[in-house]
Chain A
Amino acid sequence: MFRVILYTQWKWTRLALLPGVIIAFSLPVLSVQRAGELGYAAWVLQSVGGWAVWFPALAAALGLLMAVTAWREDHRGGHVYALSLPIERWRYALFRFAAGAVLLAAPIVALWVGSLVATAAAPIPPTLRAYPNTLALRFGLAALVAYGVFFAISAGSARTAAFVLGGVAALIAFDVLLQAAGAELSVSREVWAWLTRTPGPMTVFTGRWMLIDV
């Protein structure tokens, strides 16, 4: 059963997954390409740091892509096919989730290999160290967190998605009203801080995403 679910998900995502794999491999390579020219540790750090934002962004994008494609075909058919199959809903959702997670391994491995290649090829100043395994692990965790969140949202109906988006919009609108009233409190900032504060669920997306660091 899992085999055929994995196959369908592979078929639906492969065209979008392939560029994701290429980008995941290229990002670490690109992030250190000028390290040899710059020489000084501070400049190398500044150059590598310029690319840091793209790692969590790619993880979030891949998570979103896998989550949306996991459910797209079932949404299109009103879930009639899935509901007519002799499988419990929770098990079906679990298999779909697991299939997406398995496919996410491809860009994660690509980023790891890219990181290993990049750090092997780039001259690293003696005061700095390369962290290919840590970066790949972090990227993998971030991709899975993003995938989990988006999977949960897209597994629901359009109404669920509307509730989530409506909640975010209401939060922003409330903040605008608070600011208009002269209040210093920002609810959305507080919520974001709570989500990203250690050990918040989104902490993995924050901090330094550096392939080469001190």
Chain B
Amino acid sequence: MTGRLLCGLAAVAALAAGCSAGMAAPAGPAIVTSPAAQGAYQGLPLDPPQPRPTFTLTDTSGQRYDFAARTRGKPTFLFFGFTHCPDICPTTMADVAAALRGVPDQVRRSVQVVFVTTDPARDTGKVIAAWLRNFDDGLPNGFVGLTGTVAQVEGAQAAARVPVATDGGQTHSAQLLLYGPDDYARVSYLAGSSPDDIRRDLPRVVKGS
């Protein structure tokens, strides 16, 4: 787990978690030298906690979406990626969906998932909506997909304190942020987290402890 954590940090530091380019993170053999960090969460703890960001983008039906206003007080996953992405993005969305399917219904119903494209040139609302439906099928809350101008999606990334994507959005942070009902994120997940990590943390985050 420590190795995984370091890999993930490296990925973020290098902005390297992009689906097409982010394989640089685990440099060399995966050597695990110490047991898992005994943190409160399975995911990567955020210390200090990060406040829920404020940004307004456009949802897949073309309507304005004020992220802070629409998700305030709700446990919310936030991820930046793009649909023309073979590895990290679909894996992350599938992991979130799998985690949600594994928690009690009451928890599942309270959680919102928001995906923001880093590739607005290609990811129209229609493209994002079709892509997200592959993951949220059967879940009570459909995943929200957002797009905007390049400046808007870059602003959203900055507001969420993730490294701003480059290369037309294809090299982007792999950080999956999880905000609690108090509008702070205390844990996030990086490439290499498992659905189980998320599933185990989720009830606690939802409870706001």
Instruction: Say if A and B assemble together.
Output: no
Q: Which residues of B contact A (CB under 8 A)?
A: none
Q: Which residues of A contact B (CB under 8 A)?
A: none
